[in-house]
């Protein structure tokens, strides 16, 4: 930003929110210049923390008038570099806009501001609405409810309900041009129970990474919390067995969540929990007696009798359809859902880095994709760290290879980058689409979608953000 313009903008921001909530201090700006991934760092010119919609509206009006880029920010834990300001400008940190506006017990939804976190909502529900539950990502309690939904994250109830964006039942958004719009039933009534039967304009914001506007209120579904819960684990000896077990369980429609991880990733996790450096490179020796995969099905019931019947039915389905495969289990263990949201699993003890190629794709190519992705890890002498979740009762799968690493090890950083580039090419070939899509993957994805898709995408971006100030350089329009 030109210095004279920067001084003008900073002075105006201080008038809007007060000097205490505006900073150009390098120590403050540094926090917003990077994330856990190897994405190239870039610094904002100024950070501002509004407390309410009126302040936020004035900030965006100023930015639009002066054509200064703005990047909305909550916790920066997206593992995709999505809030690194590619073109500098203003970071709008939304942490102070953190009101839980309403929890409607009858209509089963919560209406929250963008700064409300997983930890905050979970504590509020536990204390005030203990019969209701929300879905939480495999991430720290500081993760934002709204941001996780906007970037279509996967969560601990994804088998039952799909991506986090599927939980959204209403939005309020501030456009770059100053309008504030409500989407869904809340636009015409006092309740926020559904988007339908309105046109589904939430699609102008969900998945767009803040490039079309800033979501200022999010209504999300809540669901009844069952009194009884358990987890069933199975450990197949090969990936073919893992695929067969997943297919058998999917068709039962029994679990609330269905997750699988490489057995080697579990070992990495054990090290991380004890704050040891995660041993992914060079890959530690593999015991041929070890299973290849660990599959966990989270099951709930209204009564112990119902829970026991579900566990028995799931075990019978696996036994009937997977008899030709070798696996350990099934074993029952306490449910892990009570632990959500959680700390960062000791990732920082590995040197502060975390990277993955995260994707959503079809079950029909799951086995091929997982095998080839793990073989690429073998090629780079990195431990197999596949992490997968069955989504929307098996209609698609979430799939990634988790890579905790030391950011101060340049050799390992380059290996991680090279591996992820190859894995991205692989998943695109097999029909898996990157989610929380980092800019380097956006550009590669755009090569596949066709010119008419690109044209529509650009047209939507230009309509919503004519001066291209909203998190520019990502979806909608390249830098």
138: CATH: 3.30.465.10
Q: Is the pLDDT of residue 345 over 60?
A: no
pLDDT band at 349 (very low <50, low <70, confident <90, very high): low
Report CA-CA distances (Å) from 76 to 63, 449, 467, 479: 21, 28, 25, 21
**Residues 401, 261 within the same domain:** yes
Does 256 fall in a domain?
Answer: yes
pLDDT band at 477 (very low <50, low <70, confident <90, very high): confident
Q: What pLDDT does residue 139 have?
A: 86
Distance CA 12, CA 18 (A): 9
Does 476 fall in a domain?
Answer: no
Which value, to the nearest 10 degrees, does the dihedral of the CA atoms of residues 139, 102, 172, 97 take?
-60
Extended beta strands in 322-466, E state: 327-333, 352-355, 359-361, 386-391, 396-401, 403-406, 433-434
What number is the average pLDDT over the span 13-17?
98
Does 460 fall in a domain?
Answer: no
**Residues 80, 106 within the same domain:** no
Q: What pLDDT does residue 424 have?
A: 97
What number is the average pLDDT over the span 81-97?
96
pLDDT band at 110 (very low <50, low <70, confident <90, very high): very high
CATH number of the structural domain spanning residue 399: 3.40.462.10
Does 199 fall in a domain?
Answer: yes
End position of a domain, from candidates 224, 258, 278: 224
Bridge partners of residue 300, in order along the sequence: 229
**Residues 86, 107 within the same domain:** no
Does 146 fall in a domain?
Answer: yes
**Residues 255, 208 within the same domain:** no
Does 457 fall in a domain?
Answer: no
Does 379 fall in a domain?
Answer: yes
pLDDT band at 43 (very low <50, low <70, confident <90, very high): very high
What number is the average pLDDT over the span 434-439?
93
**Residues 266, 305 within the same domain:** yes
**Residues 212, 292 within the same domain:** no
**Residues 330, 242 within the same domain:** yes
Q: What pLDDT does residue 343 have?
A: 64
- Residue-range definition of the domain harbouring residue 112: 100-224
**Residues 61, 208 within the same domain:** no
The total of structural domains in the chain comes to 3
What number is the average pLDDT over the span 371-389?
98
**Residues 277, 360 within the same domain:** yes
Q: Which two tokens stand for residue 429?
A: 């070939």
Q: What pLDDT does residue 218 have?
A: 99
Q: What pLDDT does residue 338 have?
A: 72
Does 375 fall in a domain?
Answer: yes
What number is the average pLDDT over the span 386-411?
96
Q: How many CB atoms lie within 10 A of CB 300?
A: 23
Q: What pLDDT does residue 211 have?
A: 97
Q: What is the mean pLDDT of the chain?
A: 94
The fraction of the chain above a pLDDT of 70, given in percent, is 98
The pTM (predicted TM-score) of the whole model is 0.95
CATH number of the structural domain spanning residue 67: 3.30.43.10
């Amino acid at each position: 930003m030109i210095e004279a313009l920067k001084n003008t903008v900073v002075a105006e921001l201080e008038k809007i929110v007060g000097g205490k909530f505006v900073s150009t201090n390098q120590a403050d700006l540094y926090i917003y210049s990077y994330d856990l991934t190897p994405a190239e760092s870039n610094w904002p010119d100024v950070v501002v923390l509004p407390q309410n919609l009126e302040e936020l509206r004035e900030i965006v009006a100023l930015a639009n008038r002066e054509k200064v880029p703005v990047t909305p920010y909550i916790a920066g834990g997206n593992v995709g570099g999505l809030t690194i300001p590619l073109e500098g400008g203003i970071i709008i940190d939304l942490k102070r806009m953190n009101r839980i506006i309403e929890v409607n017990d009858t209509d089963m939804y919560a209406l929250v501001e963008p700064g409300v976190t997983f930890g905050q909502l979970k504590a509020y529900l536990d204390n005030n609405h203990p019969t209701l539950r929300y879905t939480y990502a495999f991430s720290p309690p500081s993760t934002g409810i709204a941001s996780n939904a906007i970037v279509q994250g996967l969560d601990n109830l994804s088998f039952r309900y799909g991506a986090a964006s599927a939980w959204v039942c209403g939005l309020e958004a501030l456009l770059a041009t100053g309008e504030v719009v409500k989407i869904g039933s809340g636009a015409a009534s006092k309740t926020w129970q559904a988007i339908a039967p309105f046109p589904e304009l939430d699609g102008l914001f969900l998945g767009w990474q803040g490039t079309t506007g800033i979501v200022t209120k999010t209504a999300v579904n809540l669901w009844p919390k069952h009194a009884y819960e358990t987890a069933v684990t199975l450990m197949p000896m090969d990936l073919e067995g893992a695929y067969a077990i997943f297919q058998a369980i999917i068709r039962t429609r029994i679990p609330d969540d269905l997750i699988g991880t490489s057995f080697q990733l579990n070992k990495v996790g054990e090290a991380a929990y004890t704050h040891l450096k995660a041993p992914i490179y060079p890959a530690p020796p593999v015991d041929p007696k070890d299973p290849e995969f660990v599959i966990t099905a989270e099951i709930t019931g209204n009564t112990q009798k119902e829970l026991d019947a579900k566990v028995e039915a799931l075990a019978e389905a696996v036994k009937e359809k997977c008899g030709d495969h070798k696996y350990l289990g099934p074993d029952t263990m306490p449910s892990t859902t009570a632990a959500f949201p959680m700390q960062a699993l000791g990732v920082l003890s590995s040197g502060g880095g975390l990277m993955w190629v995260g994707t959503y794709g079809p079950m029909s190519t799951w086995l091929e994709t997982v095998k080839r992705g793990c073989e690429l890890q073998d090629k780079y002498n990195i431990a197999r760290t596949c992490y997968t979740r069955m989504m929307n009762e098996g209609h698609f799968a979430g799939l990634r290879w988790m890579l905790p690493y030391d950011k101060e090890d340049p050799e390992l950083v380059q290996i991680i980058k090279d591996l992820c580039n190859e894995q991205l090419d692989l998943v695109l070939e097999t029909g898996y689409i990157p989610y929380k899509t980092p800019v380097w993957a956006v550009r590669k994805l755009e090569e596949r979608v066709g010119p008419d898709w690109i044209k529509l995408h650009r047209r939507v971006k230009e309509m919503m953000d004519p001066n291209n100030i909203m998190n520019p350089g990502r979806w909608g329009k390249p830098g």
